[in-house]
A and B are shown apart, each in its own frame.
Chain A
Amino acid sequence: MKEKLPRQVERGLQDLATEEPEPFHYERTMTRVKAAASNSRRERTMKTLISTAVGFGVVAAIFLALVFIPATYTVTLGSIVTVQLPTLEIPQDEILSATAGIEGVTSSTISMTNDQLQLNFAFNGVEKKEAEKRIRTAMTDLVSDVNSLTMTSDNVTVEAGGNALAALTGGHITINARGMNDEEIEAAIVAELQAHLGAGGSYYVDVNSNESGEMTIQIEATAGPGEDLPEEFQINVEAGDVPSNGQRRVERRIIHETEDE
């Protein structure tokens, strides 16, 4: 079975077989994988109708599902920072103890090359500027001038679909509608939709109260073609105080739903 291979090929195969991932390769990949895996790929249009009685004071939760077209956002998930120090200037155990508690660090390594000591930090949820700042703060007692530390940093970013962004940002919007009339509530919802829908998006908002004080909020929202939007986010309309007897009525009815793959 063994075909004799040239020595260079054997060596090349051996190199491939022993190839190790670059520093933080695993962390970078898994950060992106986690973000992408939470991104459901449903594409649909949903219209939601909410009917609620503001007379009793309610918090109405409106769930909007927007057309999600798999366009992308660049989201910063964390950062990688490398610090270089002259070897022997500071004992390694002191560095380790000073940097052990830096908030947001998911992994760190120390390596030595010639006359340089290299510290690598991977941060989760911290952008590079802030990460550098935290490292400088942690090393204040070790280095006479922390601002002179040689640092290189890089943000770990991911191209995320719109609903991944919603997952990352929580996707929650709260409108405090206490004391507002129908038009004002409508305007507040429109403002939020405008902020979240791109230029090509469209929406329809209607807020109406009847004589008995029952309010109906109707929202339809659709993203423009190619726009990256949260597939689903939530608008809370705080329309008044919850009454002492605790009565509230929140009715949510999906009146239309289509799959749009």
Chain B
Amino acid sequence: MDFEQLVKPVYPELLRYARAMAGSVSDGDDLLQTALIKGWRGLKSLRDEAGFKVWMLRILRNTYRSQKRKKWLRNLVSLEAVGDKAADTSLPFEEKEAVRLALQGLPAQQREAVVLFEVLGLSVNEVASVQKASPSAVKSRLSRGRAKLRERYLALTEEETGHEGKIAQAS
């Protein structure tokens, strides 16, 4: 199995997932790169080429979780990280970025379900396969996730129009 041949067709989708989950373009790019390295090294464990996308999404998911844990630990001891985050979110408030930011306010599983379903266009069953959950659990996450996304987005846009700089605090 040639890793590159498997990656190329699904690369844009993996990138969208990574960026949406990570909350920014640069973090998403780093996340994808790390996950691809893991995928490359672990390719032998892939049983069926047809399942490559789901397999790779699971690696991305685990990598994201692992990075998030590490980041959380770093933030415990690094005040600089708070400054970085605030700087990150001072980007122009475009719809795409606003949605990306609003997604960050969702609990991880809901966010992932929304990204996989709404952004990557996966079916409920496919999302269930990536999340290793039942379809009904996915439906519930999607429903709650969409409600929360709406709420977050409205809150963010109100803050944005009301007072510059609040987005950073809200995130």
Q: Is the interface of A mostly helix, strand, loop or mixed?
A: helix
- One digit per residue, 1 when the CB lies within 8 angstroms of any chain A CB and 0 when it does not, for chain B 125-159 equals 00000000000000100110011011001100100
Q: Are B98 and A16 in contact (CB under 8 A)?
A: no
Neighbour of A6 across the interface among B32, B143, B153, CB < 8 A:
B153
A32 within 8 A of B: yes
Stretch at the interface among B8-16, B44-52, B73-81, B162-170: B8-16
Q: A30-B4, A33-B37 are in contact. Are A12 and B96 (CB under 8 A)?
A: yes
Stretch at the interface among B61-69, B84-92, B113-121: B113-121
Q: Are A21 and B11 in contact (CB under 8 A)?
A: yes
State which residues 1-22 of A face B: CB under 8 Å: 1-6, 8-9, 11-13, 15-17, 19-21
Q: A3-B147, A16-B16, A16-B99 are in contact. Are A37 and B37 (CB under 8 A)?
A: yes
Q: Are B15 and A25 in contact (CB under 8 A)?
A: yes
Tell me the bound Cα distance from A196 to B36 in angstroms: 30
Q: Which A residues touch B115, using CB under 8 A?
A: 16
Interface residue total, chain A, C-beta cutoff 8 A:
26
**Which residue of chain B has its CB nearest to the CB of A40?**
B41
Q: Are A9 and B11 in contact (CB under 8 A)?
A: no
Q: Is the interface of B mostly helix, strand, loop or mixed?
A: helix
Interface residue total, chain B, C-beta cutoff 8 A:
37
Q: Which A residues touch B121, using CB under 8 A?
A: 17
Q: Which B residues touch A15, using CB under 8 A?
A: 95-96, 99
Q: Are B33 and A21 in contact (CB under 8 A)?
A: no
Q: Which A residues touch B118, using CB under 8 A?
A: 13, 17
Q: Are A19 and B19 in contact (CB under 8 A)?
A: yes
Q: How far is the CB of B34 from chain A (nearest CB, A)?
A: 9
Q: Which B residues touch A2, using CB under 8 A?
A: 146
Q: Are A9 and B153 in contact (CB under 8 A)?
A: yes
Q: Are A13 and B119 in contact (CB under 8 A)?
A: yes
Q: Are B37 and A36 in contact (CB under 8 A)?
A: yes
Q: Are B96 and A19 in contact (CB under 8 A)?
A: yes
Write 18 A-B pairs (CB below 8 A) sorted by A numbering.
A1-B139, A2-B146, A4-B150, A8-B98, A8-B99, A8-B157, A12-B102, A13-B118, A15-B95, A15-B96, A16-B96, A16-B119, A17-B16, A19-B19, A29-B11, A32-B33, A33-B33, A33-B40
Chain A residues proximal to chain B, CB less than 8 Å:
1-6, 8-9, 11-13, 15-17, 19-21, 25-26, 29-30, 32-34, 36-37
Lowest 4 CB-CB distances: which A-B pairs, in order? A12-B99, A3-B146, A15-B96, A37-B40
